Structure 1
Amino acid sequence: MTINRGSEWKKWNFHVHTKGTNKNDQFSSSTMDEFFHTFFKSAYQNNISAIGITDYFSIDRYLDTIKYVSEIDEKLNPINQEKLFDDSEVDYIKNIYIFPNVELRISPTTKKGKFINLHFLFNPDKIDLLENEFFNKLSNIDGYLMNYKSICDYGKFLNPSLQEEQFYKYGIDNYNLEFGKIKNLVESNKFLRDNSLIAISSKSNDGVSGLKDYYEEFETESGALLGTIKSIYKKSHIIFSNTDSDKQYFLGDKTSVGEVISHTGSLKPCVVGCDSHTESTLFNRFTWIKSELNFEGLRQICFEPEQRVKIQNEKPDFKEDKVIIDKVKFHSPNNIFYRDDIYLHPNLNVIIGGKSSGKSILLYSIAKTLLPEPSILKNDNNEEKYNLKSIDPNFNFEITTKAGISQKMDRDIEENSIIPDLKYIPQSYLVKLAEPELNKKGRPLNKLIRDLIKEDDEYKIKYEYFIKNVKQDDKDRQTLIDTYFELIDNRKNIENDLRTKSNKTVLETNIASNSKKVEELNKAEGLDKEQLEKYKHIQDKKILLQQVTADWKTDYENTQNLLSQLNHFTDSLIETRNNTLENLKLLSIKEYYTDKLNVIDLLKNRLSELSEELNIKTDGDKKYFSLENPFKHKLDELKREKKILEKEIQPFQKNNEIQKQISLLNKSITDDKKLLNEIDILSKKLIDNSTLITNCYNSIFELYEKTYNEYENIIEELKDRTIELEKDRLKIDGIAQYNFPKLYKNLYEISDGRKASYRNYPDLIDEYKKATDETKFEEIKSQIKTIFDDIINDNYSLLQRINKKHAIEVLLDDYFFDYWKITYKDDKLGEMSTGKASFVILMLIIGLSKSKSPILIDQPEDNLDNRSITKDLVYYLKNKKLERQIIVVTHNANIVVNSDAENIIVANQKGQNNMESTSIYKFDYINGAMENTFPINKSETNLLKSMGIREHIAEIVEGGKEAFKKREEKYGF
Structure 2
Amino acid sequence: MIDRGSEWRRWEPHIHAPGTVLNNQFGGSDPWETYLQTLEALTPKIEAIGVTDYYITETYEEVVRHHRLGRLPNVQLIFPNVEMRLDVAARTGFVNVHLVVSPEDPNHLTELRRILSRLQFNAHGDRYDCTREELIRLGRRADPSIADDSAALRHGATQFKVNFARLKDILGESDWAKHNIVVAVAGGADDGTSGVRQAADATIRQEIERFAHVIFSSSAAQREFWLGLRIKTVEELRKDYNGCKPCLHGSDAHDATLVGQPMLDRFSWIKGALTFDALRQACIDPDGRAYVGSAPPLHALPSQVVSEVTLTDAPWATTPTIPLNPGLVAIIGARGSGKTALADMIAAGCDAITGWSGDANVSPSFLVRARPLLDQAKVRLTWGGGDTVSRCLDGSDANGPFSYPRARYLSQQFVEELCSSQGASEGLIQEVERVIFEAHREDQRDGATDFQELLQSRTMRFQQAQRREVEAIAAISDRIAVELEKESVVAGLVLQTGQKRELIKNYTADLAKLIVKGSEAQANRHAQLNQVAQGLTTKIQNFQNQRRIFLTLQDEVTNMRSAKSPEMLRQVQARYPTSGLSAPQWDDFLLIYKGDVDKALAGYITWAEQEVAKLQGVLPPPGDPNAPLIADTDDLSTVQLARLKAEMTRLEAIIGADVAVRQQYTALSGRISQETTLLKTLEEKLTDAQAAAGRRKTLQTEREASYGQVIGAIISEQAELTTLYAPLLTRLRSSSGTLRKLGFAVTRLVDAGAWGEFAEEKLIDRRKSGPFSGRGSLIKLADAELKPAWERGDASQIQAAMNTFVTKYWKDFLAHAPYAPAQKIEYRAWLKQFAHWLYSTDHISVRYEIEYDRVDIRKLSPGTRGIVLLLLYLALDEGDDRPLIIDQPEENLDPKSVFDELVGLFVEAKRKRQVIIVTHNANLVVNTDADQIIIADAGPHPAGGLPPITYIAGGLEDGAIRKSVCDILEGGEMAFRERARRLRVRLER
TM-score (norm 1): 0.73
What do the CA deviations read for 1:615-673 (whole angstroms, capped 9, x no partner)? xxxxxxxxxxxx532x2233333344445556676479887998498599999999878
Q: Kindly state the Cα deviation for residue 705 of structure 1 after the two structures are TM-superposed.
A: 2.4
Of the three residues 400, 409, 419, the one matched with 1:433 is 419
Query: Which residue of 1 is the match for residue 374 of structure 2?
Result: 392
Q: How does 1:877-896 map to 2 (within 5 A)?
A: 877-896=906-925
Q: Kindly state the Cα deviation for residue 892 of structure 1 after the two structures are TM-superposed.
A: 1.6
What do the CA deviations read for 1:373-400 (whole angstroms, capped 9, x no partner)? 9479979999785515245244554555
Instruction: Check 1:643–1:447 CA distance in 2 against 1; reply closer, same or farther (3 A cut).
Output: same
SS of the residue aligned with 2:107? helix
Structure 1 counterpart of 2:284, one-letter code:
F
Contact 1:711 1:736 in 2 (8 A): no
Q: Kindly state the Cα deviation for residue 958 of structure 1 after the two structures are TM-superposed.
A: 0.8
Structure 1 counterpart of 2:329, one-letter code:
N
What do the CA deviations read for 1:740-794 (whole angstroms, capped 9, x no partner)? 5995999699989x9998645554999xxxx99x956789996998999799944
What do the CA deviations read for 1:920-971 (whole angstroms, capped 9, x no partner)? 96333333211122xxxxxxxxxxxxxx321210110011112112222322
Of the three residues 532, 536, 543, the one matched with 1:548 is 543
- Higher alpha-carbon Rg: 2
CA distance in 1, matches of 2:339, 2:317: 12
Query: Which residue of 2 is the match for residue 721 of structure 1?
Result: 728
Instruction: Check 1:255–1:357 CA distance in 2 against 1; reply closer, same or farther (3 A cut).
Output: same
Of the three residues 274, 279, 288, the one matched with 2:251 is 274
Query: Which residue of 1 is the match for residue 438 of structure 2?
Result: 455
CA distance in 1, matches of 2:864, 2:486: 66
Moved more, 458-467 or 893-902: 458-467
Query: Which residue of 2 is the match for residue 114 of structure 1?
Result: 93
Query: Which residue of 1 is the match for residue 824 of structure 2?
Result: none
Structure 1 counterpart of 2:608, one-letter code:
L
Q: Kindly state the Cα deviation for residue 833 of structure 1 after the two structures are TM-superposed.
A: 7.3
Of the three residues 284, 309, 314, the one matched with 1:334 is 314
- List runs of 5+ in structure 2 lacking aligned partners: 121-126, 446-450, 626-641, 651-665, 768-773, 821-828
CA distance in 2, matches of 1:169, 1:134: 20
Contact 2:755 2:843 in 1 (8 A): no
Contact 1:930 1:949 in 2 (8 A): yes
Q: How does 1:925-940 map to 2 (within 5 A)?
A: 925-933=951-959
Query: Which residue of 2 is the match for residue 359 of structure 1?
Result: 339
SS of the residue aligned with 1:732? strand
CA distance in 2, matches of 1:654, 1:13: 142
Instruction: Check 1:380–1:864 CA distance in 2 against 1; reply closer, same or farther (3 A cut).
Output: farther
Contact 2:544 2:609 in 1 (8 A): no
Contact 1:431 1:834 in 2 (8 A): no
What do the CA deviations read for 1:843-881 (whole angstroms, capped 9, x no partner)? 356444343434443333334333333333323433343
Structure 2 counterpart of 1:969, one-letter code:
R
Q: Kindly state the Cα deviation for residue 492 of structure 1 after the two structures are TM-superposed.
A: 12
CA distance in 1, matches of 2:49, 2:528: 129
Of the three residues 256, 262, 276, the one matched with 1:295 is 276
SS of the residue aligned with 1:463? helix
Q: Kindly state the Cα deviation for residue 291 of structure 1 after the two structures are TM-superposed.
A: 1.7
Query: Which residue of 1 is the match for residue 401 of structure 2?
Result: 414
Q: How does 1:738-757 map to 2 (within 5 A)?
A: 738=749, 740=751, 743=754
Structure 1 counterpart of 2:16, one-letter code:
H
Q: How does 1:655-674 map to 2 (within 5 A)?
A: 659=646
Q: Kindly state the Cα deviation for residue 886 of structure 1 after the two structures are TM-superposed.
A: 3.0
Whether 1:236 and 2:219 are equivalent positions in the alignment is no
CA distance in 2, matches of 1:734, 1:412: 37
CA distance in 2, matches of 1:369, 1:151: 64
What do the CA deviations read for 1:574-623 (whole angstroms, capped 9, x no partner)? 538854645xxxxxxx9xxx9xx98x975x45x42459x44xxxxxxxxx
Contact 2:741 2:852 in 1 (8 A): yes
CA distance in 2, matches of 1:107, 1:384: 62
Structure 2 counterpart of 1:816, one-letter code:
S
CA distance in 2, matches of 1:569, 1:554: 25
Q: Kindly state the Cα deviation for residue 515 of structure 1 after the two structures are TM-superposed.
A: 15
Whether 1:472 and 2:464 are equivalent positions in the alignment is yes
CA distance in 2, matches of 1:468, 1:187: 72
Instruction: Check 1:191–1:252 CA distance in 2 against 1; reply closer, same or farther (3 A cut).
Output: same
CA distance in 2, matches of 1:898, 1:488: 72
SS of the residue aligned with 1:307? helix
Of the three residues 91, 104, 108, the one matched with 1:130 is 108
Q: Kindly state the Cα deviation for residue 433 of structure 1 after the two structures are TM-superposed.
A: 3.5
CA distance in 2, matches of 1:759, 1:382: 50
What do the CA deviations read for 1:215-269 (whole angstroms, capped 9, x no partner)? 53xx3xx7xx956x56644543211123455434444453355554455444322
Query: Which residue of 2 is the match for residue 608 of structure 1?
Result: 592
CA distance in 1, matches of 2:813, 2:713: 20
CA distance in 1, matches of 2:624, 2:300: 110
CA distance in 2, matches of 1:889, 1:910: 19
Q: Kindly state the Cα deviation for residue 132 of structure 1 after the two structures are TM-superposed.
A: 1.7
Instruction: Check 1:477–1:534 CA distance in 2 against 1; reply closer, same or farther (3 A cut).
Output: closer
Q: How does 1:304-319 map to 2 (within 5 A)?
A: 304-319=285-300
Query: Which residue of 2 is the match for residue 624 of structure 1?
Result: none
Q: How does 1:514-529 map to 2 (within 5 A)?
A: none
Q: CA RMSD in A?
A: 5.8
Structure 2 counterpart of 1:843, one-letter code:
L
Whether 1:970 and 2:982 are equivalent positions in the alignment is yes
Q: How does 1:81-96 map to 2 (within 5 A)?
A: 94-96=73-75
What do the CA deviations read for 1:402-430 (whole angstroms, capped 9, x no partner)? 4445554634532242547x362637947
Q: Kindly state the Cα deviation for residue 304 of structure 1 after the two structures are TM-superposed.
A: 0.9
Instruction: Check 1:818–1:827 CA distance in 2 against 1; reply closer, same or farther (3 A cut).
Output: closer
Whether 1:952 and 2:964 are equivalent positions in the alignment is yes
Structure 1 counterpart of 2:97, one-letter code:
L
SS of the residue aligned with 1:94? coil
Q: Kindly state the Cα deviation for residue 551 of structure 1 after the two structures are TM-superposed.
A: 2.3
Contact 2:51 2:78 in 1 (8 A): yes
Of the three residues 158, 173, 187, the one matched with 1:202 is 187
Contact 2:466 2:709 in 1 (8 A): no
CA distance in 2, matches of 1:150, 1:820: 76
Q: Kindly state the Cα deviation for residue 134 of structure 1 after the two structures are TM-superposed.
A: 1.6
CA distance in 2, matches of 1:535, 1:761: 59
Q: Kindly state the Cα deviation for residue 547 of structure 1 after the two structures are TM-superposed.
A: 1.2
Q: Kindly state the Cα deviation for residue 46 of structure 1 after the two structures are TM-superposed.
A: 2.6
Query: Which residue of 2 is the match for residue 712 of structure 1?
Result: 718
CA distance in 2, matches of 1:472, 1:776: 22
Structure 2 counterpart of 1:813, one-letter code:
D
Contact 1:237 1:302 in 2 (8 A): yes
Instruction: Check 1:172–1:427 CA distance in 2 against 1; reply closer, same or farther (3 A cut).
Output: farther
CA distance in 2, matches of 1:375, 1:515: 100
Structure 1 counterpart of 2:246, one-letter code:
P
| Alignment size in residue pairs | 878
Instruction: Check 1:905–1:490 CA distance in 2 against 1; reply closer, same or farther (3 A cut).
Output: farther
Whether 1:730 and 2:736 are equivalent positions in the alignment is no
CA distance in 2, matches of 1:152, 1:41: 34
Query: Which residue of 1 is the match for residue 635 of structure 2?
Result: none
Moved more, 251-260 or 509-518: 509-518
Q: Kindly state the Cα deviation for residue 300 of structure 1 after the two structures are TM-superposed.
A: 0.3
CA distance in 2, matches of 1:72, 1:160: 43
SS of the residue aligned with 2:287? coil
What do the CA deviations read for 1:343-376 (whole angstroms, capped 9, x no partner)? 4434322221111223234334555665779479
Moved more, 154-163 or 919-928: 919-928
Structure 1 counterpart of 2:722, one-letter code:
E
